[in-house]
Structure 1
Amino acid sequence: MQALIHAYLRAGLVPLIILGLVLGAIIGALLPSVGIAVGILGSIFVGALKAVAPILVFVLVMAAVTSYRGSGGNLRIKPVIVLYLFGTFAAALTAVAASFLFPTELALSAVESVEQSAPQSLPEVLTNLLMNLVANPVKSLAEANYMGILTWAILIGLALRHASDTTRQVVSDLSAAITSVVKWVIALAPIGIFGLVAATVAETGLSTLLSYARLLFVLVGSMLFIALVVNPIIVSAITRKNPYPLVFACLRESGVTAFFTRSSAANIPVNMNLARKLGLNEENYSVTIPLGATINMAGAAITINVLTLAAAHTLGIEVSFGSALLLAVVGSLSACGASGVAGGSLLLIPLACSLFNIPNDIAMQVVAIGFIIGVIQDSAETALNSSTDVLFTAAADPKYAYQG
């Protein structure tokens, strides 16, 4: 058994994930009942990631703040936040442009309504964000409220900076222990992805998606444009180096996993591990990566804007340049309030639709379409969101820029 484990670890994570992808797709297509059965492996993997992510973020951020002494000016938090916001707005503009170049109409009358509540106004979204900052710390950990977790981790870390050396060492040791647990969980990624792919192919296939091919083309095409054109331009402007080795590394090691977990929050441990492998400053990435899972939402901005404009085109609503620009701004802000879990961005579509006075029942039908195509849309969205968290963190990190 020990020899088997060593052979598994020596094979490398990426080749094993690719093998899991291929085997999962084959089993899901040829043996659907087996595919659904092994789906439990994927559920266990995602469950383990979601379970460890909140405590990982809390402990790492607390340890980073506790140990930071302000010397050397190594922290690069603000530039990363600026990159997150700029990247999200660039994605929103891209989505608007793509929607005008390839206008899409939806079969709204045939869609079953979705019974889920969604924010009805921008102040409501912002209020929810602010309330999350001061949420009960225990509740924040239990419900994976990362804004609350970050707030309390920073506050407790600041308080512990004046604690004894022994106390600070305990916090540091706890951080190292949690990091080790995360490595164990990530080592199971190929098995988990095998189960996720097998179950997805067995349950959905591709037939349902054919009727929404044009919509998916606009959505996924916009996301690919951001991932392979816009983001590399941004990174190149900052680092003055060829951005594609870093871009492809982030897509390969973070984007692939996020594509199948469909949760930025669940992918936090994966991103933390990738940031460590890239040699980034832990004081930086322990804060920026969980923060990115909350506010770095380029994929969500694309989803919100493309589906909103598709609804407007379907209803024959003329969208002026000013309205489109306002939609890009609102879409960006709304995306930053999107949940870090699967389908979180879809529930903010009614907010964007309200700009064009689209009735809420129609908007919720658009949300339903989002859930229908979610097997691809939400997967691609999360892959873009999560991989960009590491990409921008690395771009702003002097250590990575130095290594080149």
Structure 2
Amino acid sequence: MEQKKKKKIGLVPKLIIGIIVGILIGSTCPEPVIQVLVTLSGLFSAFLSFVIPFIIIGFVTAGIADLATGAGKLLGITTAIAYGSTLIAGSIAFVVASVLFPKFITSEVAAQIGDPSAGQASAIFSIPLEPMIDVTAAIVFAFMMGLGISALRNKGKGEVLYKFFNEFQDIVTATLSTVIIPLLPLYIAGTFANITFAGQVWSILGVFWKVFVTVIPLHLIYLVCQFSFAGAIGGKNPFTMLRNQIPGYLTAIGTQSSAATIPVNVGCAEKNGVTKQIREFVVPLCATIHLSGSMISITCFTTAVLMMNNMPHGINVLLPYIAMLGVAMVAAPGAPGGAIMSALPFLPMVGIPSEGGLASLMIALYLTQDSFGTACNVSGDNAIAVIVDKINSKMLSKGDKTAA
């Protein structure tokens, strides 16, 4: 008799369970119990900070090195469009957040939340685990190596380094999938237990469910804008293209993976009339470099956290942050929760600590909607494919030998 396969609980339900358990523990257990959970969360946080520079080196280096094998001029065009789309998405999210969030994140709400660390239980002990390399150095090193390997591969060299960094990326991915992601519910439970113990949890959740409700419609609105723009350039009906994109969107929601959605997304591009060579080039490439949905989510959550804590949140604060994330998240979809993990080191740019209660709140909130962000990312890839296909056809008509 065949054994019944055990159904695995997904990450989002685990996070929700972690939040509920954390609230229950924080509201019913004595301080020593809270301290034990906070200690475990603190140890996890230290390890996460240690791993983050390696995430950047592993994914950014390999991602940039892979870009060198593209189709010349079209590679640059596609990358520029993807980066531009990501920046526009973040900018729109900032504008919407700046207009809507003050309606429910008032000065009274911010005063209720107050200092996020006030009244919280302290850890029993901590381990001084410092990162081997700081984040800025990791970014510079990743770009230097990625661009260097790209140049070498174009000369028929650099394969040893290319394989090394791809295998290093595999190690980082394994660390994320076997250690970081499975332990996230414990980390989240510790955070929510502590903020519940301090009496802040309901004020914070009262804000974030409204942010969450804002983010999902914003994803859909941005998709309509992307396909409308692509339709205007490519001479196609945007609503027909959106209808054709539904299988890719739903697949991304179900798998929470840009990579797993690529075959379905290529099929969607074919229905939209994108030529074979362009759809097979643009869709896999944009699956790693185009993160408009992720950018919308992270920008909204970051802006909300800044407003909740009465911190500066103007365009002069957020724009450099958005611009940096657009680069740092290259190849982030290759890792579970890669976008938010890549964003953590840059939170200090806007004044938010990259570890601790606020950071863990952002992780929890981002991952609970990650499937929708991924769906927005991959669906937008096909809007870019339509644009690049049109550009390529014009290049061919002009006899450009660098066209695909």
User: Shorter-chain TM-score category?
Assistant: 0.5 to 0.7
8 A Cα contact 1:239 1:401, kept in partner: no
8 A Cα contact 1:304 1:348, kept in partner: no
Deviation of the 1:240 alpha carbon: 3.6
Alignment of 1:7-156 (within 5 A): 37-39=6-8, 76-103=74-101, 109=117, 121=135, 124-125=138-139, 127-128=141-142, 131=145, 134=149, 135-137=161-163, 140=166, 143=169
Instruction: Provide TM-score, normalisation by structure 1.
Output: 0.56
Counterpart of 2:231 (choices 231, 236, 254) is 236
Q: Which residue of 2 aligns with 1:271?
A: 265
Task: Give 3-state SS (helix, strand or coil) of 2:221's partner.
Answer: helix
Task: Give 3-state SS (helix, strand or coil) of 1:396's partner.
Answer: helix
Q: Which residue of 2 aligns with 1:290?
A: 284
Residue deviations 1:84-136, cap 9 Å, x none?
Answer: 122111101011112212325897558999x9989964563354355456443
Task: Give 3-state SS (helix, strand or coil) of 1:313's partner.
Answer: helix
Paired amino acid for 2:92: T
8 A Cα contact 1:271 1:289, kept in partner: yes
Paired amino acid for 1:396: V
Alignment of 1:190-209 (within 5 A): none
Does residue 391 in structure 1 map to residue 393 in structure 2?
no
Does residue 225 in structure 1 map to residue 217 in structure 2?
no
The answer for unaligned runs of 5 or more in structure 1 is 1-33, 43-60, 146-207
Change (3 A) 1:129 1:221: farther
Q: Which residue of 1 aligns with 2:177?
A: none
Paired amino acid for 2:217: G
Counterpart of 1:247 (choices 242, 260, 265) is 242
Change (3 A) 1:77 1:87: same
Q: Which residue of 1 aligns with 2:309?
A: 315
Task: Give 3-state SS (helix, strand or coil) of 1:395's partner.
Answer: helix
Change (3 A) 1:259 1:102: same
Change (3 A) 1:384 1:120: farther
8 A Cα contact 1:264 1:341, kept in partner: no
Does residue 258 in structure 1 map to residue 252 in structure 2?
yes
Paired amino acid for 2:6: A
Task: Give 3-state SS (helix, strand or coil) of 2:332's partner.
Answer: coil
Distance 1:215 1:116 in 2: 33
Residue deviations 1:178-237, cap 9 Å, x none?
Answer: xxxxxxxxxxxxxxxxxxxxxxxxxxxxxx997531121232232122112x21332133
Distance 2:264 2:274 in 1: 14
Paired amino acid for 2:142: N
Distance 2:122 2:96 in 1: 27
Paired amino acid for 2:214: V
Identity of aligned residues (%): 20
Distance 1:317 1:118 in 2: 30
Change (3 A) 1:80 1:120: same
Instruction: Provide TM-score, normalisation by structure 2.
Output: 0.56
Distance 2:283 2:92 in 1: 24
8 A Cα contact 2:241 2:272, kept in partner: no
Change (3 A) 1:329 1:399: closer
Total equivalences in the alignment: 275
8 A Cα contact 1:92 1:328, kept in partner: yes
Deviation of the 1:312 alpha carbon: 1.3
Change (3 A) 1:301 1:119: farther
Task: Give 3-state SS (helix, strand or coil) of 1:345's partner.
Answer: helix
Paired amino acid for 2:321: L
Q: Which residue of 1 aligns with 2:48?
A: none
